[in-house]
Chains A and B, each alone.
Chain A
Amino acid sequence: MATDGVVQAVKRVGLDAGARVVGVAAAEAFRAGVPEGFRPEDILPGARSVVVAGGDGPTAGAWRCPDHRVMEITGYDLRENVAIHAMCDYIERELGYYAVQAPSLPVHGHEPPMSMMHAAELAGLGTRSFAAHIILNPEYGLLYYAALITTLPLPADPPLAEPACPHPGCVAMYKRIGTTPCLRVCPACLSGTLKDARIETSTYDREKCHSRAQTYGIGSFQKALLAVVNEDDAGRRREMIHSDFFAKSVQSVGFFRDSIAQCFECMRVCPVGRKHRKLK
C-alpha cells in the first residue's frame, strides 16, 4: 500500500490541474454494487484503486444570468478530465504503475462502462440526491466527475458518513409543506419522501428528465432528422432543415457549442453548496 505522502502527491497533481476535489476508492469496493463487466478490474486488469476528480460546473455568475440561454450553451472546460489525465501521467511516469482514464460515456443506451456517480460516492466525494440522483458534494454541491483506474494500491477515502442531501433547509421545508425545493420545481421528473431527515424513497423519470435536460443534443438531432426524412414536401423539408431547432441541434452535437444541458432547474433551487454561489 502506498504511503499517505504518495496519495497526497497524486491528489495535489489533480488539484493543481483544475480539479475542485479528489478522492480515492478501493477497486474492490465496486464489487458489492456493480455487476461483473463494469468493475475497475474489468477495464484494467490488476486494478487496485480508483481516483476520482470533481470539477466545477457553471460559475456563480452563470447561475445568476437572467438569460437562460447562457446556461444552456455556456459549456464547461471539463477540467476534471484534464486533472485525471495529469494524475494518470504522474502515476505512470513518476510512480511506475498502470493508470487509465475510466470510460464514462455511454456505450449502449444510457449505460456507461463505468459509473462515475458510483465512483464519486465510493471515493467519499458526495452522495446521491433527490434531484435526479445527481451526486452532491456537501461543500460544493453540483460537480462533474471523472475517474482513473490504476494498479497503484492507494489508501482509500471512506464514503461520506452523512449524506449531502437532504440539506437541513430542505428537511425543514419538508416538515412544513411536505416537499423540497427540487421536488417542487420539477414534479414531472422527480418524486420521493423523507423520513428522519434522510431520503426514504426517491424515483425520477429518467427519459423525461433526459429529454428536458438535453433539449439540444444527439437525441434532438435524431428526432429532428427523422422528422425531416419523413417529410415528403420539399419546401417544408427545407424549412425544417434550416430551422433554428435543427441548426441548434447540429451545433450542440459539435464541440463548438459545448452544449451540456438545457435544464438545470432542480440544481438551481438546491441549497447544497449555495454558499459558493453567493459572491460579491
Chain B
Amino acid sequence: MTELPANATKRLKTMAISAGAAVVGVADADAFDAHAPARHRPADLLPGALTVVVVGGAQPRAGDWVATSPWLLSTMGTTERIQGVGRRLAQSIESELGYYALYVPPGTASGDTPFLSLMLAAELAGLGSRSLAGPILNREHGFMYWSAVITTAPLEVDGPETAPACPAPPCREMWEREHTTPCLRVCPLHEGGCLAGRLEDGRAVRTGYDAARCNTRVHTHWVGGFQKVLEETLNEPDREKRKMLVYGDFMTRTLWAITYSSTNIAQCFECMRVCPAAHGLKEMR
C-alpha cells in the first residue's frame, strides 16, 4: 500500500514545526465520517483522501493575554500565520512525496458552514479537545488557530487525545466551590451571554451555546458589521447623519477589519481570556 519513505510522517511534522506550527498531528480521513455531515468529509473534497494533516499555532502570546487594552487582541489578528504553514505543507506533500494534497480553505462554503471543520480535524488528529467555552484547547499550548491539509498520502495517524485540557484543575476547584467556571461566569447564557454547562465527574458538559449571539460579539467589526452599518446608513434619511455614519468609528473600524491591513479577526476573547487552560497554563516573569 504505502510507497512513502518510512520516515515521511516524521519529516513532514518536522517541516511543519520549522515552518511555524506549534503542534502538528495526523487524522484518519475515515474518522470524520462518524461526526461530519456528507459533503464536509475529507473524501468529499479530495477523492481518495486517506489522511488529514492538522497544524496548530499562531496563538496570542502570553503578553497579549495579559495586556490591559482590549483593543490589542481585537486588532492583532494572528490566524493568517498558521494558514501559511498549511499551504506550505500542501505544496510540500505534492512536490516531495508525490501525493495529492488539498489545503482546506479557511473560509466558509456557504453561510457559517466550513468546508471541513478544522476543530473536528484538530480533535481527530489528537491535538486538543473541545472546551466548555467552545474552542479546541491543546493541553500544552491552550487556545490555538488551526489549518488542515487533506491528502491521499497514507501517513501515520495520531489518535485523539484521551485527557482533555478542559476543565483545568483551577476550574474544577472553582466548580466545587461556586458551581461555575471562569468561562461560564464571564459569559453566562442565562444573563445575556453565550455559554451554559456544568462539570460532571471532573468532565465538562456543555448544555447551551448561543452561536448567533457569540458570532455577533466575536465579529463586531467584520463583514456582518459592515452589512449592518451599510443598511443603517442607507435607511437614514438625514444627509448629515448619513455622513456621520459613513465616517463614524464603527464604519471605519469595520472597513479596517475586512481588509488585510488590520487582520482584525475577532473582537471578543472573554471566555478564552479567563480560561486557565487557554494560555497553555504558563506564567511568565
> Does B associate with A?
yes
User: Which residues on A sit within 8 Å (CB–CB) of B260?
Assistant: 254-255
Task: Assess whether A62 is in contact with B102, with CB atoms less than 8 Å apart.
Answer: yes
User: Is B174 located at the chain interface by the 8 A CB criterion?
Assistant: no
B84 in contact with A77 (CB, 8 Å): yes
B259 and A254 contact, CB distance less than 8 A: yes
The reply to whether the CB of B249 lies closer than 8 angstroms to some CB of chain A is no
Which of B93-101, B155-163, B209-217 lies on the face that meets chain A? B93-101
A61–B102 CB distance below 8 A: yes
In which size bucket is the chain A interface? 35 or more
Contact of B109 among A66, A67, A234 (CB under 8 A): A67
Distance in Å: Cβ of B67 to nearest Cβ of chain A: 23
A77 to B94, CA, bound (A): 15
Give the dominant DSSP class at B's interface. Answer: mixed
- The interface centre, meaning the residue of A238, A247, A276 with most chain B CB atoms within 10 A of its CB, is A247
Instruction: Confirm or deny: B151 has a beta carbon within 8 angstroms of a beta carbon on chain A.
Output: yes
Q: Which chain B positions have C-beta within 8 A of A74?
A: 103, 105
B90 close to A59 (CB less than 8 A): yes
Q: How many Å lie between the Cα of A251 and that of B260 in the bound state?
A: 11
Cβ-defined contact, B115 with A67, below 8 A: yes
- The answer on a CB contact under 8 Å between A228 and B230 is yes
- Within the complex, the shortest CB–CB distance from A141 to chain B, in Å, comes to 14
- Cβ contact of A59, chosen from B80, B103, B106, cutoff 8 A: B103
The chain B residue sitting closest to A71, CB to CB, is B105
Q: Are A62 and B103 in contact (CB under 8 A)?
A: yes
CA distance A167 to B101 in the complex (A): 26
A253 contacts B227, CB within 8 Å?
no
Shortest C-beta distance, A213 to chain B (Å), equals: 18
Set of chain A residues within 8 Å of B100, measured between Cβ atoms: 59-61, 64, 279-280
- Report chain B residues within 8 Å CB of A250: 223, 226-227, 258
Take A69-B109, A70-B45 as given contacts and tell me if A251 and B234 are in contact as well, using a CB distance cutoff of 8 Å. Answer: no
- Give how many B residues have a beta carbon under 8 Å from the other chain's beta carbons: 43
Check A255–B80 contact: CB distance below 8 A.
yes
**A41-86 contacts to B (CB < 8 Å):** 56, 59-62, 64-67, 69-70, 73-77
Q: Does the CB pair A66–B47 fall under 8 Å?
A: yes
B152 touches A279 (CB 8 A): yes
Report the minimal beta-carbon distance from B227 to chain A, rounded to whole angstroms: 5
Binary A-proximity of B224-240 (CB < 8 A = 1, otherwise 0): 00110011001100000
Q: Does A30 contact B (CB under 8 A)?
A: no
CA distance A70 to B106 in the complex (A): 10
Are the C-beta atoms of B115 and A70 separated by less than 8 Å?
yes
Cβ-based interface call for B107 (8 A): yes
Question: Which residue of chain B is the closest to A237 with respect to CB atoms?
Answer: B234
- The verdict on B185 contacting chain A, using a C-beta distance below 8 Å, is no
* Contact with B98, one of A77, A241, A280 (Cβ below 8 angstroms): A280
B231 contacts A237, CB within 8 Å?
Answer: yes
B47 / chain A contacts, CB cutoff of 8 Å: 64, 66
Contact: A59 with B45, CB < 8 Å?
Answer: no
Taking CB atoms, residues of chain B closer than 8 Å to A234 are: 234-235
CA distance A74 to B160 in the complex (A): 27
Identify the closest chain A residue to B106 (Cβ).
A256
Report the minimum CB–CB distance from B87 to chain A (whole Å): 4
Cβ-defined contact, B223 with A65, below 8 A:
no
Contact B84–A280 (Cβ < 8 Å) = no
Asked whether A66 lies within 8 Å of B44 as measured between CB atoms, the reply is yes
CB<8 Å pairs between A and B, sample of 24: A18-B88, A59-B90, A59-B94, A61-B101, A61-B103, A62-B102, A64-B47, A70-B115, A77-B87, A234-B234, A234-B235, A241-B234, A244-B110, A244-B111, A247-B223, A250-B223, A250-B227, A251-B258, A254-B257, A256-B265, A276-B94, A279-B94, A279-B99, A280-B152
